[in-house]
Amino acid sequence: MTKTAVITGSTSGIGLAIAKAFAKTGANILLNGFGKPEEIQAVTDAVAGLTSGTVLYHPADMTKPEEIADLMATAVSRFGGTDILVNNAGVQFVEKIEDFPVEQWDRIIAINLSSSFHTIRAAVPAMKQKGWGRIVNIASAHGLVASPFKSAYVAAKHGVMGLTKTVALEVAENGITANSICPGYVLTPLVEKQIPDQARTRGITEEQVVNEVMLKGQPTKKFITVEQVASLALYLASDDAAQITGTHVSMDGGWTAQ
Ligand code: NAD
């Protein structure tokens, strides 16, 4: 049976790498995320080229519950339900607590936390019917530890960890697992672009930005790659990982061991 994977925020970065990894297994893929029409078309074509299954794109905005419901209903109407759900869409905003804009708090909680509630509640009925399902939530090292000025992000990612554990207990006897992945700093296009900018504004070399600013707390002093995160998502969705549930796997170069 062809499996169907729904990956939120899969037009770039980690989500796109996860979509490609699942496509290589022959799965149907439901892509989601923002981008210019030509970028979305290019991403859809690239993913479609990797799978014998069907690849669809849905533009649901993760701040809008009714659009998320439509995304998940599309998985049901086109593919008979979601087998593998990857909650990956996420955004960041950095500001001290007393100046943190209320609308940024609401936006981050909606995208980074509440959207996972909306997708999971919609995905679980078909998973229960099939007696098989995989829920993989892309949390962060910030689901385990904090950094200053990231109150909304850290709160949302800690929330994802709690949601993951609760769902895992509720569906434990239905062949469904729910787990979080907690990456440290991953080299995504977004991060890559910041390196020359930060070097310029701080008056230091690009190497110093990487080692002394970005990877200061990551003991390996190396970025995680999107392919490494995707490979872990693939493993958590496999039958070998059937007894891993209600937990998280860190991929953070030793960050949270400190
Ligand atoms: P990214 O910016 O490359 O990708 C984010 C994706 O989410 C994009 O496809 C974007 O279009 C989509 N998105 C943003 N707002 C959306 C919305 N309202 N509705 C639908 N889609 C939306 O970022 P990334 O680095 O690949 O991050 C992916 C996930 O990994 C996030 O949850 C992030 O918190 C987490 N993460 C990233 C890192 C890192 O260092 N890059 C580390 C730990 C955790």
Which stretches within the chain are classed as H helix? 13-23, 37-48, 65-79, 102-109, 115-130, 151-170, 189-202, 206-208, 226-236
Hey, whose CA ends up nearest to atom 44 of ligand 1?
140
Residues 129 and 195 in one domain: no
Residue 198: predicted pLDDT? 83
Distance from Cα 89 to the centre of ligand 1, integer Å: 5
pLDDT in tens, 129-180: 999 999 999 999 999 999 999 999 999 999 999 999 999 999 999 999 999 9
Average model confidence (pLDDT) for the chain? 97
Which sequence positions are flagged as catalytic? 153
Residue 146: predicted pLDDT? 95
- Does 11 contact ligand 1 (Cβ within 6 A)? yes
**pLDDT over 80 (residue 257):** yes
Residues 214 and 242 in one domain: no
Residue 220: predicted pLDDT? 96
Residues 180 and 192 in one domain: no
Query: Where does the pLDDT of residue 42 fall: very low under 50, low under 70, confident under 90, or very high at 90 and above?
Result: very high
Can you give the pTM of this predicted structure? 0.97
Residue 231: predicted pLDDT? 98
User: Is residue 68 within 8 Å of residue 118, measured between CB atoms?
Assistant: yes
Closest Cα partner for 215 from 243, 255, 181, 160? 255
Over residues 31-50, mean pLDDT: 98
Query: Where does the pLDDT of residue 83 fall: very low under 50, low under 70, confident under 90, or very high at 90 and above?
Result: very high
User: What are phi and psi for residue 179, nearest 5 degrees?
Assistant: -140, 160
Residue 193: predicted pLDDT? 83
Residues 152 and 123 in one domain: yes
Residues 136 and 193 in one domain: no
- Does 82 contact ligand 1 (Cβ within 6 A)? no
Residues 218 and 228 in one domain: no
Residues 234 and 211 in one domain: no
Residue 163: predicted pLDDT? 99
User: Is residue 84 within 8 Å of residue 5, measured between CB atoms?
Assistant: yes
Over residues 68-95, mean pLDDT: 97
Residue 194: predicted pLDDT? 81
Cα 27–Cα 31–Cα 36 angle in degrees, nearest 5: 145
Distance from Cα 132 to the centre of ligand 1, integer Å: 27
Residue 213: predicted pLDDT? 86
Residue 25: predicted pLDDT? 98
Residues 21 and 127 in one domain: yes
Residues 78 and 203 in one domain: no
Distance from C-alpha of 44 to C-alpha of 99, rounded to nearest angstrom: 39
Distance from C-alpha of 189 to C-alpha of 34, rounded to nearest angstrom: 14
Token pair listed for 76 = 């049901």
**pLDDT over 80 (residue 190):** no
Classify residue 136 by burial, with Cβ atoms within 10 Å: 0-12, 13-18, 19+: buried
Residues 147 and 199 in one domain: no
Residues 145 and 237 in one domain: yes
Residues 209 and 104 in one domain: no
For residue 159, what is the domain's CATH number?
A: 3.40.50.720
Closest Cα partner for 115 from 77, 163, 165? 163
**pLDDT over 90 (residue 191):** no
Distance from C-alpha of 245 to C-alpha of 46, rounded to nearest angstrom: 31
Q: 203 lies in which domain range? A: 187-223
**pLDDT over 80 (residue 3):** yes
- Does 133 contact ligand 1 (Cβ within 6 A)? no
Query: Where does the pLDDT of residue 238 fall: very low under 50, low under 70, confident under 90, or very high at 90 and above?
Result: very high
